[in-house]
């Protein structure tokens, strides 16, 4: 088992509800909080002129899609003064991909300048910002001393500050603990002037760039499991999946460790199931063996006869996506291999024509998720066809909202564009949910009928291939 190409982004999408929306309404399915977030102020030459590393960030997990209806859905705060003067961020609004025109005009006594006279109310021109797919934008008001209404816009993506903003310094001084350069949400040079962030157009810091870099985290509920058969039809699932993740990414199958959990109280065809040895990987190409031996990690409690084994998977995970490989136990069978390749977005857009499970077990919260399972084996069916166990040819898809309490781990921050790695301090991301009481489905006679039908489907698939 080996990894055959290099990874450039070590921490991906631990920013939860980082949802790529194509005109969809914001999805309220995550609550986010983080500490040790970074604030870096760069002047018009790109030099660091201040900042802190004690920023506290919260986010309700929604995304605005229209400036006319946008609401504040996040907070950013710090106890560290900027140039000896306290500052406050307020009216923090997070948006999904799209193009936005944002006015900086404010009126004293209104939301942009709630407590000061007009003379101390910063106003300037308009911003026009294009947020690409796979990124999100934050627009906030910034008060510094007696001045209110200063506008700050950052466009965020997961990754390494030093790679995304080459040549740009990041604040590492007093105030909190520096946890970079890898963050779940890194501020990028969205106005393409070579300086990270976007130049401010109003207030006392015109031409300066205020950058916030966030190790974002969340709690989520109502994660989805959709099982599709070899024809692409839904054959079961649930919406009460509980997902946890420590925020790290594996980069080599030989050294990979379990860094996530997936669980549910809802049986599949009347039989309980368990996902274990859940490993999440960053971009790259991986060859994964499904061979297991009874009594070892893949099949810890069953005899070899009940230990699923098959061939190898070779999976290429593109930039901007992550992969999960897990073992799946169903009844007395262990070692069933499931691989999903995840990206943020809308199931119906990413997997056109593929149904998603909306039945009993939890509350359906789709089709937009932070991590959507995609058709990585390009057979037209979401997910990847299983090659071992009783569900060969079936596709097990997990659609989840990522997050948790985190400071990011980056054990190898090397990037092909760097001559040497930059270290990162420890961290992690965890998502916890409380499962909903589920209604069990099916009975033993149904299981027997299902297995007979399953055999017919598999044989038909093999016949069609031949």
* SS3 (DSSP) at 325: strand
* SS3 (DSSP) at 342: strand
The radius of gyration of the chain from alpha carbons, rounded to an integer in Å, stands at 24
CA 271 to chain centre: 30
The token pair at 64 is 């605005």
What's the rounded Cα separation, in Å, for the pair 424 and 443? 51
- 98: alpha, beta or left, given left = phi > 0 and alpha = psi -120 to 50? left
Give the pairing type, strands 182-187 and 126-131.
unpaired
Cβ 150 vs Cβ 210: under 8 Å: no
**How many Cβ atoms from other residues are within 10 Å of residue 118's Cβ?**
12
What is the residue-level pLDDT of the chain in tens, covering all 466 positions? 333 322 222 333 333 333 332 222 233 334 566 788 999 999 999 999 999 999 999 887 788 999 999 999 999 999 999 999 999 999 999 999 999 999 999 998 888 899 888 888 998 999 999 999 878 999 999 999 999 999 999 999 877 899 899 999 999 999 998 988 878 789 999 999 999 999 999 999 999 999 999 875 545 667 999 999 999 999 999 999 988 776 678 889 999 999 888 999 999 999 999 999 999 998 999 999 999 999 988 899 988 998 998 999 999 999 878 999 999 999 999 999 999 999 888 999 999 999 999 999 999 988 988 789 999 999 999 999 999 999 999 999 999 875 432 222 222 222 222 222 232 222 233 222 222 222 222 322 233 333 333 344 334 444 444 4
**H or E element at residue 236:** strand 234-245
pTM score above 0.75: no
Q: Which residues of 275-286 are buried (b: 16+ CB within 10 A; e: fewer)?
A: bbbbbbbbbbeb
* SS3 (DSSP) at 407: coil
Cβ 369 vs Cβ 225: under 8 Å: no
Using alpha carbons, list the distances in angstroms from residue 420 to 194, 250, 265, 415, 417. Answer: 22, 19, 46, 8, 9
Cβ 365 vs Cβ 221: under 8 Å: yes
Cβ 252 vs Cβ 441: under 8 Å: no
Cβ 289 vs Cβ 243: under 8 Å: no
The token pair at 44 is 């018009």
Q: What is the DSSP letter of 263?
A: E
């Amino acid at each position: 088992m080996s990894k055959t190409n290099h990874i450039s982004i070590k921490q991906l999408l631990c920013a939860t509800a980082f949802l790529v929306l194509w005109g969809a309404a914001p999805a309220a399915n995550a609550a986010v909080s983080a500490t040790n977030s970074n604030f870096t102020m760069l002047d018009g030459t790109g030099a660091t002129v201040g900042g802190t590393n004690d920023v506290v960030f919260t986010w309700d997990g929604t995304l605005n899609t229209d400036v006319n209806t946008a609401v504040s859905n996040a907070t950013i705060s710090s106890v560290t003064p900027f140039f000896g003067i306290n500052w406050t961020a307020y009216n923090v609004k997070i948006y999904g991909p799209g193009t936005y025109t944002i006015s900086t005009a404010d009126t004293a006594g209104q939301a942009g300048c709630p407590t000061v006279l007009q003379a101390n109310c910063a106003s300037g021109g308009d911003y026009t910002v294009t947020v690409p797919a796979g990124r999100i934008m934050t627009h906030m008001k910034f008060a510094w001393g007696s001045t209110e209404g200063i506008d700050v816009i950052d466009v965020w993506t997961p990754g390494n500050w030093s790679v995304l903003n080459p040549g740009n310094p990041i604040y590492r001084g007093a105030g909190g603990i520096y946890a970079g350069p890898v963050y779940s949400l890194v501020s990028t040079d969205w106005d393409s002037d070579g300086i990270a962030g976007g130049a401010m157009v109003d207030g006392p810091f015109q031409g300066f760039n205020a950058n916030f870099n966030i190790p974002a985290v969340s709690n989520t509920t109502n994660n989805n499991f959709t099982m599709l058969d070899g024809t692409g039809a839904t054959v079961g699932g649930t919406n009460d999946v509980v997902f946890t993740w420590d925020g790290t990414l594996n980069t080599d199958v030989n050294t990979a460790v379990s860094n996530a959990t997936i669980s549910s109280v809802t049986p599949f065809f009347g039989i309980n199931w368990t996902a274990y040895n859940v490993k999440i990987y960053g971009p790259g190409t991986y060859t994964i063996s499904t061979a297991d031996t009874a009594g070892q990690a893949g099949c810890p409690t069953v005899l070899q006869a009940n230990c699923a084994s098959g061939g190898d998977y070779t999976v290429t995970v593109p930039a901007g996506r992550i992969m999960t490989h897990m073992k799946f136990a169903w009844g007395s069978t262990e070692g069933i291999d499931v691989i999903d390749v995840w990206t943020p977005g809308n199931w119906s857009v990413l997997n056109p024509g593929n149904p998603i499970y909306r039945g009993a077990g939890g509350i359906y919260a789709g089709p937009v998720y932070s991590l959507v399972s995609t058709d990585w084996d390009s057979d037209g069916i979401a997910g990847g066809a299983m090659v071992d166990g009783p569900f060969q040819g079936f596709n097990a898809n997990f659609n989840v909202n990522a997050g948790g309490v985190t400071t990011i781990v980056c054990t190898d921050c090397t990037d092909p564009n760097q001559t040497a790695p930059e270290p990162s301090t420890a961290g992690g991301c965890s998502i916890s949910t409380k499962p909903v009481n589920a209604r069990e489905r099916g009975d033993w006679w149904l299981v027997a009928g299902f297995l007979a039908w399953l055999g017919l489907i598999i044989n038909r698939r093999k016949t069609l291939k031949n």
